[in-house]
Amino acid sequence: MCITLLCVYSAKKISRQLIFVFKTFRMASSISGFRVAVLQLTVTADKSANITNAVNRIQQAKKEGCTLTILPECFNSPYNTGLFRQYSEIIPGGETCQALSKAAKSNGMYIVGGSIPEIHDEKVYNTCTVWDPNGNMIAKHRKMHLFDINIPGGIYFKESDALTAGNTLNTFQLGKFKIGLGICYDIRFSEMATLYRKQGCDMLIYPSAFNMTTGPLHWSLLTRCRAVDNQVFVVVASPARVTNSNYIAWGHSMVVDPWGKILSEASEKDMNLYLDLDFNSRETIRQQIPTENQRRIDIYDTIEIK
């Protein structure tokens, strides 16, 4: 009698455990996205204040239930070639990285840390770092295409006066999603985004800071192009517009889906965007318009993928 009862009890316990494992597995495999925050921060000349502001806003994003928070280009320093070296720090040992690591860990979230001026071997780079919920740096991207342009009556900017370009594509994994990184001017180079898609990326993130000359016509166009070309989500995160600054950012941070639709767009003001991303839509679009399998690579110049 006792043995029978024990057997029934054990069988019930095992089946309860199996149901739990099954439910957990079903939940994990049905997760089709995550909530993202894009922080359109006001950047000042005060580095510590910029960092504190970012950390506070990351906490707000956590309260909104976000898994990933994205900061803008040069969020800890003015966007100024004359100041990059002065504001630069080592990665990951510098004060900005330490703050981002702590913020990622204490909020248990992924952070794409915009970009900061990085110093390495006396050279200065425009660098994006990525942090996981344990506070580990899981990726780093140095801007590959330096922003050297000259538009008379519009804007002259020569990043190469102060910065060295990075030479690598960089991705990271957030659960089952692969994310490719670029910084601002990098978005103009479709080859880079295409390579990311070929590497299996689901989403591209560009911390950026377009300006009042190129922003109005090119910002949204380029973001939507990269999304449609590659059938990926694209996020561009800009600083807020400060009209009395040397470099006036366009603002208008946005999230675009693989169909090219703007899902969320900021104004020029200081604000946060919060959005749930559903990656199932990306699969549907890829099936409906299967350009990836239709490329005439037998005709095009082929690009070697490593």
d(CA 253, CA 247): 17
d(CA 67, CA 201): 18
Contact between 214 and ligand AKG by CB under 6 A: the answer reads yes
Please identify, using beta-carbon distances, which residue of 209 and 256 lies nearer to ligand AKG: 209
Could you say which of 74, 89, 140, 143 is catalytic?
Answer: 143
| Position among 43, 91, 209, 285 found at the interface with ligand AKG (CB under 6 A) | 209
**Is 184 in the active site?**
yes
Contact between 102 and ligand AKG by CB under 6 A: the answer reads no
Count of beta carbons in the 10 Å neighbourhood of residue 166: 21
Q: How far is CA 218 from CA 54, 75, 236, 260, 269, in A?
A: 27, 21, 12, 14, 19
Q: How far is CA 53 from the centre of its chain?
A: 19
| Position among 165, 218, 242, 262 found at the interface with ligand AKG (CB under 6 A) | 218
Please identify, using beta-carbon distances, which residue of 2 and 217 lies nearer to ligand AKG: 217
| Position among 125, 210, 233, 279 found at the interface with ligand AKG (CB under 6 A) | 210
Could you say which of 47, 66, 73, 128 is catalytic?
Answer: 73
Binding part of the chain for ligand AKG, among 22-30, 46-54, 161-169, 208-216 by CB under 6 A, reads: 208-216
- In 3D space, the residue among 138, 203, 177, 170 whose CA is nearest the CA of residue 306 turns out to be 170
Q: In what order do the strands lie in the sheet with 233-237?
A: 170-174, 177-181, 203-207, 233-237, 254-256, 262-265
Contact between 40 and ligand AKG by CB under 6 A: the answer reads no
Contact between 84 and ligand AKG by CB under 6 A: the answer reads no
Using omega within 30 degrees of 0 as the cis cutoff, is the peptide bond preceding 152 cis? no
131 phi/psi in degrees, rounded to 5:
-120, 140
Residue 274 near residue 232, CB atoms below 8 Å: no
Please identify, using beta-carbon distances, which residue of 154 and 290 lies nearer to ligand AKG: 154
Binding part of the chain for ligand AKG, among 3-11, 47-55, 180-188, 292-300 by CB under 6 A, reads: 180-188
Count of beta carbons in the 10 Å neighbourhood of residue 35: 16
| Position among 188, 229, 245, 262 found at the interface with ligand AKG (CB under 6 A) | 188
**Is 143 in the active site?**
yes
Contact between 206 and ligand AKG by CB under 6 A: the answer reads no
Residue 176 Cβ vs ligand AKG, minimum distance, rounded to whole Å:
31
183 phi/psi in degrees, rounded to 5:
-130, 120
Residue 210 Cβ vs ligand AKG, minimum distance, rounded to whole Å:
5
**Is 74 in the active site?**
no
**Residues with catalytic function:** 73, 143, 184
Residues in touch with ligand AKG (CB under 6 A): 73, 147, 184-185, 188, 209-211, 214, 218
